[in-house]
Structure 1
Amino acid sequence: MECSTTDPVVAATPPGQDRVGSPESRGIDCVPDAERHGRARELFALWAAPNVSYLSFVVGGTLVLMGLTPAEALAVTVAGNLFWLLTGFIAVSGPAAGTSGSVISRAMYGVVGNRVIVAVTGWLIASLYLALNWSAASVAGLGLTSRLGLPDSPGLDAVVVCLIAGATILVAIFGHATIVRLYGALSILLTVVFVALSLLVLAHTDWSYAPADPPTGFGHLVVLASGFTIVASAPLSYANSPDLSRYLPRTTGRRAVTLWTAAGGFLPSVLFTAIGTLAATTLDMNDPQTALESIMPSWFVPVFVTAVVLNTVANNGITAYSSGLSMQSIGVRLHRVVAVLVVGVIGTAMTLFALLVFDFLTAVNTMMELVVVITGPCMAVYATDIVLRRNRYDGEQLHDQSRTSPFWYRAGVNWAGVLATLGGGVAATLCASSTSWAGPLSSAMDGLNLAVPVGVVGAAALYWALSRALGTLPPTTAQH
């Protein structure tokens, strides 16, 4: 299967190449059946390496700082991470269409409408996550340079950020085949290091811990909802899962794609968030790096910092990879490698600003509590479209951006998808609450944060109803 050359970006793209150790030349163009390879189980390592994460320790500690008991924090952690099933479900569209998620979403938003949605979710949100993760790694790296006696300065901050960002962008440039091979090794290495740290935490855990001033009554529910939102924001941010499954053979089982993807994110996220929770029973997780390093032998500190940096490279590597594809999908005529470099420069600039201006822990909590008002509805619309179309996507049709395209709809916009996403986003915003924002409905409920359930369920229901009412699901997708 070849893609239509009515897509100018695809027409200007050289023949695809996906080999380990060589920069991937394929951008958003379809992967022909003859070049499909791999098995669904490789998706486990692809998602485990980014999620054997220092940020999980940070989030786990935050849940206790909010006043939850370890048992409550664990329950919230498991519940929020169940959204990895949604991330896995969306990934099934990759093998079906053989192209990136940012192209498949033309079915939901129309050729023109999709450009706006992807510009926000594929550029802005992705750049924010790049900055967040690079900030985390840079904080750890700067702590190590301080131990080595190097003087603290803005110049040193910039050097550390640029080195970490450079390594990340290099991974994204080499692309899919290299990521598959590299992340298998990284997932093992990072797990060994973080399990060793977990054993140190367990040795210092206060198993009888109880919050000094636990929330009560309705306030208790408010805290539980806020914690759930913070945890759920991670899996809801990965709408790029089809990008990493598109090279799989078309006949790959949907259940296998869903479960291997979900397991790769769910298992390490739950494990290490729980360890962060236990760490907070005796350590001051207001400064998580200093707290964790205080229980490490001196020789283990550089090992830990290296693991944090490698995890960040793994996490941001797939984010930058997908962001480059997103840039192409909205019509920017750049080679995939150049597009990745542009995204990297934007993310690096945002990282330096965040690192030098904002408190890291506050930035983490605020972003994770508010970004779901966008990511939740987008994921819900995507998943609902897969159900409605029975995962029947034709890559050639999706790359047709002419006015005769089946995805042109009305003036290039599928109003069912756009209105459902906007409606879900508005409803989620009204119900959102964080340290810097409280929606009117949340304020009326004393700060109860219902952004995730309202945004996800609301957007899915709206898209289902509007698609039926507007007739935007004609039988134009290919039967595979």
Structure 2
Amino acid sequence: MAELVERRSIDVVPDEERHGTAFSQFTLWLGANLQITTLVTGGLAVVFGGDVVWSVLGLLAGNLAGGAVMALHSAQGPKLGMPQMISSRAQFGVKGAVVPLALVIVMYIGFFASGTVLAGQAVGELTHLGDVTGIIIFALVTAVVAAIGYRVIHTLGRVASVICVLAFLYLGVRLLGKIDLGTVVSENHSFHLPMFLLAMALSASWQLAFGPYVADYSRYLPRSTSGRATFWWTLGGTTLGSQWSMTFGVLIAATAGDAFVDNQVGYVVGLGGTGLIASFLYFVIALGKLTINVLDTYGGFMSIVTSVSGFRGQKEVTQRGRSLYIAGIMIAGTVVALIGRNSFLDSFKDFLLFLLTFFTPWSAINLVDYYLISRERYDVPALFDATGRYGGWRWQALTVYGIGLVAQFPFLSTGFYTGPLVDPLGGADISWIVGLIVPAVLYWLISGRGRDTGTFDGAALPEQGAAEASLSR
């Protein structure tokens, strides 16, 4: 057991502790996306007015676009050997990175809560203890697995990918035996641009929300791991898993009506059968949600430690500290889950689009800096030194980030705010497209010319020593 418990937190993973292959990213992200919340996300495209054919195509477009951005973040892991948000210090400064990190932590708690609502229903039915007890049990199991860390998380992903594939195949056969697919498709294929773009935004936001932590799960791969292999296996797993689940959700939402809206977990299980089959499906729902909720909890732990260490200068966390951080995330997420469990669908849709607004500018800045300006080389020791190369606050990046946020507001459409340019576009929400393009271009124009391009030691990792010294930016 002691060997399974992870010792690393935000510190760099040395070469001798690296292991695995890029294929591990495929199984992890396939298992993380073949689950009930992804299904519900796809169903939202229909629940809020979309048709079947164009909702599926819109979801596919968003999964590919958002998944490509997410996979580019994943490819940073083997190269840098550190959590995703630590690399943000190269753009925002050692302390300035706390600005997007604060929103990332809110995201993790929100996703923990939304996942725990649905998984808690499954656990409650499986144990006959009710939703509230099911939510608490599920939250505790999530915290324990997250505290153990990286190896168990990847093992969980592999197991979940196999079991969930089998379960989704079975449910797909049951659904197709219950509905007339030809009729459903033929009666639901009218193109409506705003609904198509809503479907794109839902799936793109789903993928982009993985960006702040995706490299956390590729950082233990050997440094020799191909960046292209990491990119394609990540993209393949996350796109296949999410599109499969979301398409299933579209078909269910289009044919089940209020039965799905009122009780997502109950309807999906009822589709599969009763007795032992129903118990197995409740277990599958809980297992699928456990995979993604552990990722959210682990990522939340990394983000909190990154925020604190930016001001305290620490690189490592004790096992006791790790447990306390994870317990805090679990408690906060559980409280939100218990409060919001009766208004899940409306709240979740707005939450996804809210997240999209704040994470697209961060992704744009991080990727432009890493791939185009820094060309995949960072001064790693300086990422932990507020007086070093990257400084405490990098106001250029923070300003661009703010402009990227503001630029999206006129195009944003959520339940609590609609921008002035949404109606002229027929109700379409294109804020996430604006949020990627505007800050990417601005950051390239401002930082591409002004960034220090001198040499520095230990560009890739401090443990490499002289072999990687004096790399140019």
TM exceeds 0.5?
A: yes
Superposition pairs of residues 467-478 of structure 1, within 5 angstroms: 467-471=447-451, 475-476=455-456, 478=459
Could you tell me which residue of structure 2 aligns to residue 15 of structure 1? none
| C-alpha separation in 2, matches of 1:281 and 1:52 | 20
Which residue of structure 1 lines up, in the alignment, with residue 463 of structure 2?
Answer: none
Q: Distance in 1 between matches of 2:359 and 2:266?
A: 32
TM-superposed CA distance for 1:214, in Å, is 8.4
Classify 1:27/1:473 alpha carbon distance in 2 versus 1 (closer, same or farther; 3 Å): same
Give the secondary-structure state (helix, strand or coil) at the position aligned to 2:95: helix
Q: Does 2:183 align with 1:183?
A: no
Q: Please report the TM-score for the alignment, with normalisation by the length of structure 1.
A: 0.86
Deviation at 1:70, TM superposition (A): 2.1
Q: Which amino acid aligns with 2:207?
A: P
2:221 match? 248
Q: What displacement does 1:56 show?
A: 2.5
> Which residue of structure 2 aligns with residue 456 of structure 1?
436
Question: Which residue, out of 262, 265, 277, partners 1:289?
Answer: 265
1:367 is matched with which residue? 351
* Secondary structure at 1:393 match in 2: coil
Give distance in 2, aligned partners of 1:188 and 1:320.
Answer: 22
Paired with 2:246 and 2:180, the residues of 1 have a C-alpha distance of 16
Is structure 2 residue 76 aligned with structure 1 residue 93? Answer: yes
Please show how residues 92-111 of structure 1 align to structure 2 within 5 Å: 92-111=75-94
CA distance in 2, matches of 1:395, 1:209: 54
Aligned counterpart, 2:298 = 321
Is 2:330 the counterpart of 1:348? no
SS of the residue aligned with 1:331? helix
Write the letter of the residue equivalent to 1:286: V
- Whether the 8 Å contact between 1:88 and 1:261 is mirrored in structure 2 is yes
Q: 2:306 and 2:359 mapped to 1: Cα distance?
A: 18
Aligned residue for 2:171? 197
Amino acid at match of 1:79: A
Give, in angstroms, the shift of residue 242 of structure 1: 1.1
- CA positional deviation for 1:363: 1.4
* Alpha-carbon offset, residue 234 of structure 1: 0.8
- Supply the distance in 2 between the matched residues of 1:275 and 1:211 (Cα, whole angstroms): 17
1:60–1:182 Cα change, 3 Å: closer
Kindly indicate whether the alpha-carbon contact (under 8 Å) linking 2:29 and 2:234 is maintained by their aligned counterparts in 1: yes
Q: Cα–Cα, structure 1 residues 93 and 413, in superposed 2: closer, same or farther, change >3 Å?
A: same
Query: Is structure 2 residue 41 aligned with structure 1 residue 55?
Result: no
When structure 1 is superposed on structure 2, of 267-276 and 415-424 the one drifting more is 415-424
Cα separation, 2, equivalents of 1:60 and 1:446: 22
Aligned equivalent of 2:235: 262
CA deviations on 1:392-435 (whole Å, 9 max, x unpaired) are: 1243232223x1x1110xxx211232122211122122211023
Offset, 1:105: 0.9
The equivalent residue for 2:10 is 28
Distance in 1 separating the partners of 2:198 and 2:45 = 9
Does 1:223 pair with 2:223?
Answer: no
Displacement of 1:436: 2.5
Counterpart for residue 165 of structure 1: 139
Partner of 1:396: 381
Distance 2:37 2:67 in 1: 16
Distance 2:106 2:454 in 1: 32
In structure 1, what is the equivalent of residue 59 of structure 2? 77
Whichever residue aligns with residue 435 of structure 1, its letter is G
Helix, strand or coil for the counterpart of 1:348? Answer: helix
Q: Secondary structure at the match of 1:330?
A: helix
The residue aligned with 1:306 is: 283
Task: Answer whether contact 1:421 1:459 (CA < 8 A) is retained.
Answer: yes
Contact 1:202–1:279 under 8 Å retained in 2? no
Offset from partner CA, 1:456-480 (integer Å, 9 cap, x none):
1112112111213543665547265
Aligned-partner Cα distance in 2 for 1:267–1:325: 27
Closer/same/farther in 2, CA of residues 449 and 472 from structure 1, 3 Å limit: farther
Moved more, 344-353 or 250-259: 344-353
Q: Return the alpha-carbon distance in structure 2 between the equivalents of residues 36 and 321 of structure 1.
A: 19
Q: Deviations over 1:205-255 (max 9, x none)?
A: 232126989877xxx211111121111111100121111111111121100
Contact 1:467–1:473 under 8 Å retained in 2: no
What is the CA–CA distance in structure 2 between the aligned matches of 1:289 and 1:213, rounded to whole Å? Answer: 25
Match of 1:137 in 2: 119
Which residue of structure 1 aligns with residue 322 of structure 2?
336
Deviations 1:87-125 (CA, angstroms, capped at 9, x unpaired): 11111222222111121110010011112221221x111
* Alpha-carbon distance in 2 for matches of 1:315, 1:137: 11
Partners of 2:411 and 2:431 within 8 A in 1: yes
Of 193, 197, 206 in structure 2, the residue corresponding to residue 234 of structure 1 is 206
Q: 8 Å contact 1:57–1:273 — kept in the other structure?
A: yes
1:277 is the counterpart of 2:254 = no
Q: Which moved more, 1:73-82 or 1:58-67?
A: 58-67
What's the offset of the Cα at 1:444?
4.5
The letter of the residue matching 2:432 is V
Contact 1:49 1:311 survives alignment (8 Å): yes
Gaps of 5+ in 2: 461-467, 469-473
Q: How far is the alpha carbon of 1:346 from its aligned partner?
A: 1.5
Q: Is the 8 A contact 1:438 1:447 kept in 2?
A: no
Q: Matches of 1:440 and 1:27 in 2, distance apart? A: 44
2:360 is matched with 376
User: Aligned partners of 2:409, 2:180: CA distance in 1, in Å?
Assistant: 38
Indicate the larger mover: 160-169 or 427-436: 427-436
One-letter amino acid of the structure 2 residue matched with residue 425 of structure 1 = L
Contact 1:93 1:393 in 2 (8 A): no
Q: Which runs of 5+ in 1 are unaligned?
A: 1-18, 151-155
- What TM-score do the two structures reach when normalised by structure 2? 0.88
CA shift for structure 1 position 79:
0.3
Is contact 2:52-2:189 (8 Å) kept?
no
In terms of mean alpha carbon deviation, does 330-339 or 431-440 score higher? 330-339
SS of 2:96's partner is: helix
Q: 2:418 aligns with which of 438, 452, 461?
A: 438
What amino acid is aligned across from residue 327 of structure 2 in structure 1? L
Which secondary structure does the structure 2 equivalent of 1:37 belong to? coil
Q: Aligned in 2, Cα 1:269/1:215: closer, same or farther, shift over 3 Å?
A: same
SS state at 1:280 partner: helix
Could you say which structure has the higher helix fraction?
A: 2
Judging changes above 3 Å, is the alpha-carbon distance between structure 1 residues 63 and 115 closer, same or farther for their aligned structure 2 residues?
A: closer
Provide the C-alpha distance between the structure 2 equivalents of 1:316 and 1:72, rounded to a whole number of angstroms: 30
Q: 2:364–2:437: 8 Å Cα contact kept in structure 1?
A: yes
Is the 8 Å Cα contact of residues 370 and 433 (structure 1) preserved in structure 2? no
Equivalent pairs: percent with the same residue? 26
Separation in 1, partners of 2:393, 2:12? 23
Aligned letter for 2:106?
A: L
